[in-house]
């Protein structure tokens, strides 16, 4: 029966890594693999109050079909948050989506023709690669350094691919590297996008989770021609299970997203939207986010200290000022999948770098998540990964 699948079903392949990662869910495994927020920080009690209030005040409407664009008080609250970070949009520029993942998928559906070129960071977010691959996009990867995507390399590739459709970027605490694009590069990216007439898709789920350094305005803040489509989410600052994300873009774009979202799922969960809006009405979400930042800062600091203490001395790694991930660069020729397999034998998991490179591995690495494990688990897990790295790098068995 598999011959019945559409051609596009062949475009996304279940990667070996994804299959192995299922093993990391076993309780005995210390897992730095997922991108899961710390569950103990979910505001469960406050959400009970918010749920009751929604059902008491607005029960029937919260369980009814609702407009595709989203619940207006929630769009208003998002609009206010956008203004606070320097994006002066109106409510009409905001569409609520089922997580930011849906926004990424709708972006592919809306903009990508067969073999259209997407320019992205190398490496980049795995599930965006797969979403765009399902529309048969081609990828042009741009090298990164500690300050994110390199603009001279971007310009070269824009010259080489004058018909590129869009630049997909995660400017803040990038997934998987944890790196952040500097203010100057954000401005330069806009200049280049204007000059070469490409769209920018700014995927920004982590900007709110800055725990050190200076806050930077989103790329969209510098947008002069309405060519930045900004995508974000409540997943990392509130609760991913509610599946509330949004697109902020010019109204003409939003209208088209609405048409496509309508055929995808009619609208985002009415109840979840109202719960999120009610929570923000009753409580100060900034206070909540402060707690998240403090915990992630402590965990990130712990993980960085463990790298210094337990990992081979010559490895390079990112030192994030926010977000959820640290990226370990592996020396040339070292196979991250093999390191990952050895780690798993020792009941510790991370994500090997391979699937984050849409055209095949460039500078291989390991992605480590620090938000979801306790201090004790971080210390124990990092010791185990350190032992594997020392052993495998010394033996040379990790060399391809
Ligand atoms: N973009 C990036 C860069 C992500 O890391 C994630 C989730 N880890 C998402 C989008 C999707 O998040 P959600 O659908 O929960 O909003």
What are the distances in angstroms from CA 104 to CA 126, 148, 176, 346?
A: 12, 20, 17, 35
User: Do the domain assignments include residue 346?
Assistant: yes
CB 210 within 8 A of CB 173: yes
Q: How far is the CA of 202 from the centre of ligand 1 (A)?
A: 12
64 domain-assigned: yes
Ligand 1 atom showing the smallest separation from residue 104 Cα: 10
Structural domain range at position 235: 44-282
Question: Is ligand 1 within 6 A of the CB of residue 234?
Answer: no
Beta-strand relationship, 199-203 and 228-233:
parallel
Residue 169 lies in a domain: yes
CB 389 within 8 A of CB 397: no
Q: Are residues 204 and 269 in the same domain?
A: yes
Residue with tokens 């034998």: 345
- Of 3-17, 214-228, 243-257, which range is least confident? 3-17
197 — alpha (psi -120 to 50), left (phi > 0) or beta? Answer: left
Contact 200, 193 (CB under 8 A): yes
Stronger pLDDT, 350 or 19, i.e. the higher one: 350
Kindly state if the Cβ of 178 falls inside 6 Å of ligand 1: no
Q: 100 CB less than 6 Å from ligand 1?
A: yes
Q: Which of 282, 315, 331 is the last residue of a domain?
A: 282
The pLDDT score that the predictor gives to residue 13 is 75
Q: What is the DSSP letter of 80?
A: H
Three-state DSSP class for residue 247: strand
Question: Across all residues in the chain, what is the average pLDDT?
Answer: 95
User: Does 229 map to a domain?
Assistant: yes
DSSP string, 316-371: EE---SBSSEEEEEPPTTB-HHHHHHHHHHTTEE-EESGGG-TTS-SS-EEEEE-S
* pLDDT digits 0-9 by tens, 266-277: 999 999 999 999
Burial class of residue 52 in the structure, from the number of CB atoms within 10 Å of its CB (0-12 exposed, 13-18 middle, 19+ buried): exposed
- How far does the centroid of ligand 1 lie from the alpha carbon of residue 312, in Å? 31
Could you say which of 252, 282, 312 is where a domain stops? Answer: 282
Instruction: Tell me which H or E stretch contains 72.
Output: helix 72-84
Q: Is residue 328 part of a domain?
A: yes
pLDDT in tens, 120-173: 999 999 999 999 999 999 999 999 999 999 999 999 999 999 999 999 999 999
Q: Is the CB of 235 under 6 A from ligand 1?
A: yes
Check pocket membership of 101 for ligand 1, CB cut-off 6 A.
yes
Output the domain CATH number for residue 48.
3.40.640.10
Residues 265, 293 within the same domain: no
Task: Say if residue 230 is in the same domain as residue 111.
Answer: yes
Residues 388, 343: contact at Cβ < 8 Å? yes
CA separation (Å) from 326 to 179, 213, 363?
Answer: 9, 16, 15
Question: pLDDT digit string (tens) for 3-43?
Answer: 899 988 888 876 666 666 677 778 899 999 989 999 999 99
Whether the CB of 358 sits within 6 Å of ligand 1? no
310 within domain boundaries: yes
Specify the pLDDT at position 397.
54
Confidence of residue 378 (pLDDT cuts 50, 70, 90): very high
Both 220 and 94 in one domain: the answer is yes
Q: Measured in angstroms, how far is the CA atom of residue 169 from the centroid of ligand 1?
A: 13
User: Does residue 311 lie in a domain region?
Assistant: yes
- State how many domains the chain has: 2
The residue assigned the tokens 């020792």 is 346
Same domain, 306 and 377: yes
37 CB near ligand 1 (under 6 Å):
no
> What is the DSSP annotation of 7-67?
GGGGTS---HHHHHHGGGGSTTSEE--S-PPPGGGS-HHHHHHHHHHHHHHHHHHHHS---
* Terminal-to-terminal C-alpha distance of the chain: 38
Reported as a pLDDT band with limits 50, 70 and 90, residue 332 is confident
2 within a domain of the structure (yes/no): no
Mean of pLDDT values over 329-345: 92
The ligand 1 atom nearest the CA atom of 245 = 16
pLDDT band at 361 (very low <50, low <70, confident <90, very high): confident
In the block, which residue shows the tokens 């997407």? Answer: 118
Task: Mark whether 55 and 178 lie in a shared domain.
Answer: yes
261 and 197: one domain?
A: yes
pLDDT at site 333: 83
375 vs 400, residue with greater confidence: 375
Pocket of ligand 1 contains residue 171 by CB under 6 Å: no
Instruction: Give the model confidence (pLDDT) of 45-83 as tens digits.
Output: 999 999 999 999 999 999 999 999 999 999 999 999 999
172 and 56, same structural domain?
Answer: yes
Q: For ligand 1, say whether the CB of 369 is within 6 Å of any of its atoms.
A: no
193 and 327: one domain? Answer: no
Calculate what percentage of the chain has a pLDDT beyond 90: 89
Residue 77 and residue 38 share a domain: no
Report how far ligand 1's centroid is from the alpha carbon of 34 (Å): 11
Regarding whether 293 and 268 lie in a shared domain, the answer is: no
d(CA 30, CA 343): 10
Q: What is the separation of C-alpha 225 from the centre of its chain, rounded to a whole number of angstroms?
A: 25
- pLDDT at residue 10 in the model: 86
CATH number at 340 reads 3.90.1150.10
Whole-number pLDDT of residue 25: 76
The model's pLDDT over 292-329, given as tens digits with 9 standing for 90+, comes to 999 999 999 999 999 999 999 989 999 999 999 999 99
Q: Is the pLDDT of residue 399 over 60?
A: no
Q: Residue 298: its pLDDT value, please?
A: 98
The pLDDT, as a whole number, for residue 339 is 95
Assigned token pair, 385: 């990964």
pLDDT at 398 over 60: no
- What is the best residue among 78, 175, 209, 356 to mutate for testing ligand 1's pocket, by most ligand atoms within 8 Å of CB? 175
Is the pLDDT assigned to residue 280 strictly greater than 70? yes
Q: Which long-range contacts (CB under 8 A, 24 or more apart) does 387-391 make?
A: 387/310, 387/346, 388/339, 388/342, 388/343, 388/346, 389/311, 389/312, 389/315, 389/339, 390/311, 390/312, 391/342
Model confidence, pTM = 0.96
Ligand 1, atom 8, residue with closest C-alpha: 35
Last residue of one domain, picked from the residues 267, 282, 297: 282
> For position 16, what pLDDT does the model report?
60
| Co-location of 75 and 174 in the same domain | yes
């Amino acid at each position: 029966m598999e011959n019945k699948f559409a051609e596009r079903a062949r475009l996304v392949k279940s990667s070996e890594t994804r299959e192995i990662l299922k093993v990391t869910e076993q309780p005995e495994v210390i897992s730095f693999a997922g991108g899961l927020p710390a569950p103990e920080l979910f505001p469960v009690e406050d959400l009970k109050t918010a749920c009751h209030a929604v059902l008491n005040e607005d029960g029937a409407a919260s369980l009814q079909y609702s407009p595709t664009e989203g619940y207006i008080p929630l769009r208003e609250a998002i609009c206010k948050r956008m203004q606070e970070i320097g994006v002066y949009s109106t409510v009409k520029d905001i569409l609520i989506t089922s997580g930011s993942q849906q926004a990424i998928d709708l972006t592919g559906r809306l903009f990508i023709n067969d073999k259209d070129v997407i320019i992205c960071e190398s490496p980049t977010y795995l599930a965006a690669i797969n979403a765009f691959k399902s529309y048969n996009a081609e990828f042009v990867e741009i090298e990164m350094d500690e300050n994110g995507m390199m603009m001279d390399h971007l310009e070269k590739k824009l010259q080489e691919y004058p018909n590129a459709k869009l630049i997909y970027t995660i400017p803040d605490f990038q997934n998987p590297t944890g790196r952040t694009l500097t203010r100057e590069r954000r401005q330069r990216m806009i200049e280049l996008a204007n000059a070469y007439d490409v769209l920018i898709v700014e995927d920004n789920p982590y900007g709110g989770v800055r725990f050190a350094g200076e806050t930077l305005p989103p790329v969209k803040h510098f947008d002069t021609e309405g060519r930045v489509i900004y995508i974000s989410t409540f997943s990392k600052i509130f609760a991913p299970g509610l599946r509330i994300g949004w697109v902020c873009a010019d109204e003409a774009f939003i209208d088209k997203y609405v048409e496509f979202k309508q055929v995808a799922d009619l609208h985002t969960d009415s109840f979840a939207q109202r719960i999120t809006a009610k929570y923000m009405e009753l409580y100060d979400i900034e206070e909540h986010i402060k707690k998240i930042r403090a915990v992630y800062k402590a965990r990130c600091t712990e993980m960085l200290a463990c790298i210094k203490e337990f990992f081979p001395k010559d490895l390079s790694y990112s030192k994030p000022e926010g977000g959820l991930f640290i990226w370990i660069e592996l020396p040339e020729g070292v196979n991250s999948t093999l390191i990952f397999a050895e780690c798993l034998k020792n009941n510790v998991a991370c994500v090997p770098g391979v699937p984050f490179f849409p055209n095949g591995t460039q500078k291989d690495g390991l992605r480590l998540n620090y938000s979801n494990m306790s201090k004790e688990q971080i210390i124990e897990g990092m010791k185990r990964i350190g032992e594997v790295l020392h052993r495998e790098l010394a033996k040379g068995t990790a060399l391809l």
